[in-house]
Amino acid sequence: MSTAIGDRTATNSRTLVLALTFIALVVAVVGSLGAPLITAVAGHFRVSLASAQWTLTSTLLAGAIATPVLGRLGAGSRRRPAMLTTLGLVLAGSVLTVVPPSFGWLVAGRTAQGAGLGLTALTMGVARDHVNRSAARIGMLSVVSTVGIGVGYPLAGLLTEVGGIRLAYGAGLLVTAIAAAVAWRVIPDAPSGRRARVDVLGAVMLGAALLVVLVVLSESSLWSAHLVVTVGLLALGLLLLAAWALVERRSTAPLVDLALLRHPAVAAANITMLLGGTGMYLLLTLVVRYMQTPPAAGYGFGATVLRASLVLIPFSALGFVGGRTTRLLLTRCGPRAALAVGAGAVTGASVIFALSRSHVWQLYAVMALLGFGVGAFSAAMPGTILAVTPAGETSSAMSVNQVVRSTGFSVGSALGGLILAAYTDAGHAFPAERGYSTAAWIGAAAIAATIALTTAGRPRPSHSDRQS
């Protein structure tokens, strides 16, 4: 009898892991659909590239705002309803992206889809409560949520080339509907006895601050056209963040437990994710853009959207390899060593791109090494945070890390655009090739700083899931 019960529990655990992995992959893929479709959207709706960029920017903004709110809901008893409601919102947004009567409705649909980016933290909370060896499973969910970007790019490129942007967004609608059905069927209720109240004032203040900061970081054209205004907006966003922190410290039910974030391990993990995300997305953007540059510019390969997006396949494949390999490092050396290995691989990819990119195979090699590093990086990150985080605060703590990651992605993307714009002469459509080298070296420097952070000092012992 006990054997039968044990087998059934193991089966349920495996089913839940597969469901959580699928949901994390879906929200990552749907969120990444905007990036490779920007040019196609601009042509389809006859809008500027800067306007079409909002199909990505609005998604990142919505995700950054929704993530801490969902993380707080995930710390209470309403985690399942929060997941199902959010998936319903993403599904409604997906419908708008398939049949948009205007460009504005498409942006609205992409904004609704962005709320799904906050679900990754909730899947991690479910895994910690209901899955055996939860630390390893949470690490893999982090990997899936990152390398899923590499799935969305080639998928969007292929479907756009076959049937246009409606088919590409239609694929997002299909997988979201399946994810919602899976969540309805499989996701369990949160453990009883937990209470979590959403700090509405804190959510509004944090949302406003992130809105200002991420708009500034995502819109690289602002820096060249309105530098003084841009710096002023960035300062305003940082002041809003400071004011939000003061309000949260005095709140009896804060949106984010700032006392936990002050723990050296958690603070280092979040700073590391910011720098690592910046370097990762900087290099990813550089490689894809370099691939699409026509040879008439003196460099580049003139790749179509589909061909350029295929370079993301080794990124995703090696990302999963890196994530699984990291399990051994986590067991034998701990999360800091695993973080350093992942950051080292990303640094190596940046250096290779800076020095040698005259053949397509070199770009594939760069993306493979980048994927391995990101996979290792993402798998190790949750262990660093969860080692000092109570089980009931998993969703909230990881949601902050996801916000930091999104901010790093935006910084990397904007930084790449700024550097390449600085190397673009008046009257020229494409930057000088040395701009790519400069950007790659800056990315390598950001990751080198990450390695310094991960190896400095000694971790404080604490209650962890290490036994699990």
Domain that holds residue 283: 2-198+255-455
Q: In 3D, which of 395, 276, 330, 318 has the Cα closest to residue 136?
A: 330
pLDDT over 50 at 465, yes or no:
no
Burial of 196 (0-12, 13-18, 19+ CB in 10 A): buried
| Residue position matching structure tokens 């061909």 | 307
Q: Please give the Cα distance from 62 to 55 (Å, whole number).
A: 11
The stretch 187-198 carries a mean pLDDT of 77
- Residue 462 within a domain: no
| Residue position matching structure tokens 């980048």 | 370
The total number of structural domains that make up the chain: 2
Q: Please give the Cα distance from 374 to 340 (Å, whole number).
A: 11
Query: What is the predicted pLDDT for the residue at 464?
Result: 42
Tally Cβ neighbours within 10 Å of residue 361. 7
- Residue 207 within a domain: yes
Q: At what angle do helices 79-98 and 54-74 cross, to 10 degrees?
A: 170
- Residue 463 within a domain: no
Q: Please give the Cα distance from 173 to 162 (Å, whole number).
A: 17
pLDDT tens, residue by residue, 85-124: 999 999 999 999 998 889 999 999 999 999 998 898 888 8
Query: What is the predicted pLDDT for the residue at 411?
Result: 78
Q: Are residues 28 and 134 both part of a single domain?
A: yes
Predicted confidence band of residue 460 (pLDDT cuts 50, 70, 90): very low
The stretch 254-260 carries a mean pLDDT of 72
Q: Are residues 203 and 280 both part of a single domain?
A: no
Query: What is the predicted pLDDT for the residue at 29?
Result: 87
Q: Are residues 245 and 390 both part of a single domain?
A: no
Output the six-digit token pair for 62: 């919505």
| Residue position matching structure tokens 């400069």 | 438
Do residues 309 and 153 make contact, with C-beta atoms less than 8 angstroms apart? yes
Which of 52-56, 208-212, 420-424, 456-460 is predicted with the least confidence, judged by mean pLDDT?
456-460
Q: Are residues 353 and 228 both part of a single domain?
A: no
pLDDT over 60 at 426, yes or no:
yes
- Residue 409 within a domain: yes
Selected residue with higher pLDDT from 361 and 337: 361
Q: Are residues 185 and 223 both part of a single domain?
A: no
Do residues 180 and 88 make contact, with C-beta atoms less than 8 angstroms apart? yes
- Residue 358 within a domain: yes
Q: In 3D, which of 64, 65, 118 has the Cα closest to residue 87?
A: 118
Q: In 3D, which of 171, 163, 178, 203 has the Cα closest to residue 64?
A: 203
Q: Please give the Cα distance from 380 to 370 (Å, whole number).
A: 15
Do residues 199 and 71 make contact, with C-beta atoms less than 8 angstroms apart? no
Q: Please give the Cα distance from 63 to 235 (Å, whole number).
A: 22
Q: Are residues 224 and 156 both part of a single domain?
A: no
Q: At what angle do helices 134-163 and 312-332 cross, to 10 degrees?
A: 180
Picking from 238, 254, 270, the residue at the C-terminal end of a domain is 254
Predicted confidence band of residue 463 (pLDDT cuts 50, 70, 90): very low
Q: Are residues 402 and 282 both part of a single domain?
A: yes
Query: What is the predicted pLDDT for the residue at 395?
Result: 66
- Residue 468 within a domain: no
The stretch 350-370 carries a mean pLDDT of 94
Query: What is the predicted pLDDT for the residue at 251?
Result: 80
pLDDT over 90 at 455, yes or no:
no
Query: What is the predicted pLDDT for the residue at 220?
Result: 64
Output the six-digit token pair for 421: 């714009």
Q: Please give the Cα distance from 20 to 135 (Å, whole number).
A: 14
Tally Cβ neighbours within 10 Å of residue 448. 18
Picking from 254, 283, 298, the residue at the C-terminal end of a domain is 254
Q: Are residues 190 and 320 both part of a single domain?
A: yes
Q: Are residues 355 and 439 both part of a single domain?
A: yes
- Residue 466 within a domain: no
Question: Taking all residues of the chain, what is their mean pLDDT, rounded to a whole number?
Answer: 81
pLDDT over 70 at 196, yes or no:
no
* pTM for the predicted model, two decimal places: 0.76
Output the six-digit token pair for 75: 């710390």
- Residue 461 within a domain: no
Output the six-digit token pair for 216: 């500034």
Query: What is the predicted pLDDT for the residue at 5?
Result: 40
Do residues 56 and 399 make contact, with C-beta atoms less than 8 angstroms apart? no
Query: What is the predicted pLDDT for the residue at 10?
Result: 47
Question: What string of H, E and C letters represents the secondary structure of the chain?
Answer: CHHHHHHHHHHHHHHHHHHHHHHHHHHHHHHHCCHHHHHHHHHHHCCCHHHHCHHHHHHHHHHHHHHHHHHHHHCCCCHHHHHHHHHHHHHHHHHHHHCCCCHHHHHHHHHHHHHHHHHHHHHHHHHHHHCCCHHHHHHHHHHHHHHHHHHHHHHHHHHHHHHCHHHHHHHHHHHHHHHHHHHHHHCCCCCCCCCCCCCHHHHHHHHHHHHHHHHHHHCHHHHHHCHHHHHHHHHHHHHHHHHHHHHHHHCCCCCCCHHHHCCHHHHHHHHHHHHHHHHHHHHHHHHHHHHHCCHHHCCCCCCCHHHHHCCHHHHHHHHHHHHHHHHHHHHHCCHHHHHHHHHHHHHHHHHHHHHCCCCHHHHHHHHHHHHHHHHHHHHHHHHHHHCCCCHHHHHHHHHHHHHHHHHHHHHHHHHHHHHHHHCCCCCCCCCCCHHHHHHHHHHHHHHHHHHHHHHCCCCCCCCCCCCC
Do residues 410 and 210 make contact, with C-beta atoms less than 8 angstroms apart? no
Q: Are residues 227 and 78 both part of a single domain?
A: no
Q: Are residues 282 and 415 both part of a single domain?
A: yes
pLDDT tens, residue by residue, 2-53: 444 444 344 477 889 889 989 988 988 888 787 778 777 888 898 876 678 7
One-letter amino acid identity for 43? G
pLDDT over 60 at 1, yes or no:
no
Picking from 254, 272, 296, the residue at the C-terminal end of a domain is 254
Selected residue with higher pLDDT from 16 and 251: 16
Q: Are residues 216 and 96 both part of a single domain?
A: no
pLDDT tens, residue by residue, 176-189: 999 999 999 999 98
CATH of the domain at 90: 1.20.1250.20
